[in-house]
Amino acid sequence: MSGEEAGSTQLSVDSILNDVYARRKFTKTQPKLDILDIEELREFQGRKRREFESYLKRNRLDMGQWLRYATFELEQHDMRRARSIFERALLVNGGYIPLWIRYIDSEIKAKFLNHARNVLDRAITTLPRVDKLWYKYLFLEESLENWDIVRSLYNKWCSLEPERGAWASYIEFEIRQKKYNNARDIYEKYALVYPQPETWLAWVRFESTYGTIESIRKIYSMAIDFLTEYEVTMKDDNNYETGLIQLAMSFASWETSEREYERASSIYKILKEKFPGNPQIIKAQDDFNRNFGSVKDINDTLISKRKISYENELRSNLQNYYYWMLYIDLVEQYFPSEIISVFERAVTTSIPNQTVSKDIHWKRYIYLWIRYFTYMELKKLDIESCRLLYKRCLNEVIPHRKFTFSEIWIMYSEFEIRQNDLALARKILGRSLGMCPTPTLFSRYIELEVKLREFDRVRKLYEKFLVYTPTDYKIWLGYSKLEENLGDEDRARAIFEIPLQDNVIDIPVDSQLILIQKFIDFETDAQEYDNARSLYERYLHKGNFAPNIWISYALYESSAPTNDQLEALYNNSNNGNSSDEELENDNVVEFKPSEENFTRARKIYERALEYFREREDSKSRVSIFQSYKEFEDKFGSQESQQALAERTPKEVLKVKVENGIEKEYIDYNFPDDSKSSKKVDVSRFLSFAKQWKEEEQLK
């Protein structure tokens, strides 16, 4: 074999470990320990510490183990030991960012703020290019309202010329503090470090909000002069020309908005001279000249004409909601003083004629209300008027007995949450469920209570939800998942059982099959493998003994441990009989299927073959056999593979007559059938004998 061929087939340690992790399906869960007194607690703590220290002596570079060790000490409320472990780990690998984050979070959670500051200061000194550490430090100090410290941290960070996000964050901080002059000073340094057009445009947006017309014009002029002056050094930037054009056109557009048409015209002329033939500049200059070349009031005239045309169209058809939206856009932009009256006209005069079904006209009409709500809350900032609008829409407009709009109820409840009135938000959702329950309303109410950690309320809502739609399997799954997450396995198991019982809930079979699948997964995660096996038997009956269920059952048996195997695994783990390799893999006991599991899987395959043989279902029988063969090829011995190969069915071409027409089809001959036909059916003979005896006694 040549050297190249030997190198291509050589295995590496990484490839072997990756293959092991890929094949591993189950991980060991630590057994539950009941600690009754302080001596047992100390013994448990000492044992765990010895385990961690023993492992770290062998593999001190495993940072995950250091984190688990520190987490253990934090769970024991021993902050001194946890801090010591963090420090030892940092000596091993001071550049491991998650270690710093965990250390800092633990100090903050324990309210050791000075310790947290010290760690953060060391972190940003050790890793000054890690933005996350800076943000964490800044967030801590800003939450404590240490404004001077925050400002000094930002200055220190920006002196390192970090990414754009740091500068933007610093500016936003000064804006929150209403230190606008400080923000301008930052923009000056920012523009020197990142002189690209987007930086100047950001400065312009700032000045548009907090500056004056003179300051905006000054920034625009400074930006263009700077970019033009340093054109030679920035010409290698592919976005330089595009950015400069965008900046200049923004300048012209702003001058136009300020009605400085001569200034805007001069900018367009300079742009055209510098970048001749650019289609974007030509189009913009043409539009400008058409609008402002000779008459300054042309734009106002065009807007007035548009407004009149919309009003004429709406007079002829009040339910033309497309024109209502255009009309509102126009009035909001150019006639803001009239916007409230326009909204009132829209929602009052354009109500759909019919109130029987929720058609497209009702949906478009409700969008007018939604836009009205958002305007009053977000732009008008009139909270009380917005609340009255919600009540008016829900009480007077929507015919809840016929249909409803879940979005309006949800928006109203979220509106009250934003006003810090949680009780009223609950009342709104509760009222909606009483008047016009819908799956969407139930789901959003449950979502709200889950976020608030009100799990008793969540349970009641799920119960009402199931009364409303008991045939929806997704609700049952959601309810069981809630109980599983809360650690109440018995309740989760009971919730799974209810829809699977016969003559209790008329739930579709397909939904029951999905529930059984999820139930099996639940029992498997809980390591209740016998329960999962019982569920597979029910799964077979519910699924009409489909081949895929048989195959899934067999594969499950091949990989699921028995009770004896589980007990042996736990005993080996507790007695410290694990191998060094298992200890190195995070002290996880890995279950490896044995011949016993493969035998149990073979029994399932044999049952399936016998079942379909009795029903003369060759197609399903072949599917089972193919899966059986793949199983034996992977896990079987040479003898079992040979024995199964001798039972391989053979294709046979047969003819059948349908409607007087002969059709050829492929059937299968199974060697097992010829063997079983030669055997005397003793059980059948005994049944006939018993039947004869009973008839003789009756005579």
pLDDT confidence of 692, banded at 50, 70, 90? low
Structure-model confidence comparison of residues 685 and 341, the more confident one: 341
| Rounded-to-integer distance, Cα 187 and Cα 652, Å | 84
**So what's the pLDDT on residue 6?**
44
Instruction: Note the pTM of the prediction, 2 decimals.
Output: 0.50
**So what's the pLDDT on residue 34?**
63
pLDDT confidence of 386, banded at 50, 70, 90? very high
Q: Kindly state the average pLDDT of the residues 468-485.
A: 85
Q: What is the pLDDT of residues 292-313, one digit of tens each?
A: 765 433 555 466 667 778 888 8
* 8-17, 170-179, 257-266, 546-555: the lowest-pLDDT one: 8-17
* 164-168, 196-200, 260-264, 655-659: the lowest-pLDDT one: 655-659
What is 165-182 written as a DSSP string?
HHHHHHHHHHHHTT-HHH
- How many Cα atoms within 13 Å fall on the side-chain side of residue 641? 9
**So what's the pLDDT on residue 297?**
37
What are the structural domain ranges in the chain? 650-698
What is 301-325 written as a DSSP string?
HHHHHHHHHHHHHHHH-TT-HHHHH
Q: Kindly state the average pLDDT of the residues 272-277.
A: 69
Three-state DSSP state, 667: strand
**Is 584 a residue whose pLDDT tops 50?**
no
**Is 415 a residue whose pLDDT tops 80?**
yes
Q: Name 72's Cβ contacts closer than 8 Å, sequence gap at least 6.
A: 48, 52
| Rounded-to-integer distance, Cα 369 and Cα 378, Å | 14
Q: Kindly state the average pLDDT of the residues 265-281.
A: 73
| Rounded-to-integer distance, Cα 123 and Cα 109, Å | 18
Residue whose pair of structure tokens reads 């497209």 in the numeric block: 360
* 242-246, 546-550, 587-591: the lowest-pLDDT one: 587-591
| Rounded-to-integer distance, Cα 204 and Cα 551, Å | 67
**So what's the pLDDT on residue 367?**
92
pLDDT confidence of 5, banded at 50, 70, 90? very low
Residue 352, class by beta-carbon neighbours within 10 Å (0-12 exposed, 13-18 middle, 19+ buried)?
middle
Q: What is the pLDDT of residues 132-160, one digit of tens each?
A: 989 898 898 888 888 988 889 998 988 88
**So what's the pLDDT on residue 695?**
59
Q: What is the DSSP letter of 670?
A: -
Nearest to 518 by CA among 462, 473, 465, 558: 473
| Rounded-to-integer distance, Cα 248 and Cα 265, Å | 12
| Rounded-to-integer distance, Cα 409 and Cα 367, Å | 14
Q: What is the pLDDT of residues 641-652, one digit of tens each?
A: 788 777 888 877
Q: Which two tokens stand for residue 412?
A: 């109203």
**So what's the pLDDT on residue 680?**
44
> Are 386 and 344 within 8 A, CB to CB?
no
Structure-model confidence comparison of residues 289 and 534, the more confident one: 534
**Is 698 a residue whose pLDDT tops 70?**
no
Residue whose pair of structure tokens reads 């007079």 in the numeric block: 315
**So what's the pLDDT on residue 388?**
92
| Rounded-to-integer distance, Cα 17 and Cα 609, Å | 38
Give the percent of the chain with pLDDT over 70. Answer: 83
**So what's the pLDDT on residue 305?**
63
- What average pLDDT does the structure give for the chain? 80
The alpha carbon of residue 461 and the mean position of all alpha carbons in its chain are separated, in whole angstroms, by 23
Q: Which two tokens stand for residue 25?
A: 């399906």
Structure-model confidence comparison of residues 516 and 504, the more confident one: 516
Q: Kindly state the average pLDDT of the residues 542-560.
A: 84
Most confident range (mean pLDDT) of 16-25, 336-345, 657-666, 679-688 is 336-345
CA distances for 139 relative to 61, 99, 146, 150, angstroms:
31, 19, 10, 9
**So what's the pLDDT on residue 544?**
84
- Number of Cβ within a 10 Å radius of residue 214: 9
Q: What is the DSSP letter of 653?
A: E
Q: What is the pLDDT of residues 55-109, one digit of tens each?
A: 888 888 888 888 888 888 888 888 888 888 888 888 888 888 888 989 888 888 8
Give the percent of the chain with pLDDT over 90. Answer: 3
Q: What is the pLDDT of residues 487-514, one digit of tens each?
A: 888 888 888 888 888 776 778 888 888 8
- How many Cα atoms within 13 Å fall on the side-chain side of residue 683? 0
> Are 353 and 368 within 8 A, CB to CB?
no
Q: What is the pLDDT of residues 205-251, one digit of tens each?
A: 888 888 888 888 888 888 888 888 776 666 666 677 788 888 888 88
pLDDT confidence of 1, banded at 50, 70, 90? very low
**So what's the pLDDT on residue 3?**
46
**So what's the pLDDT on residue 317?**
87
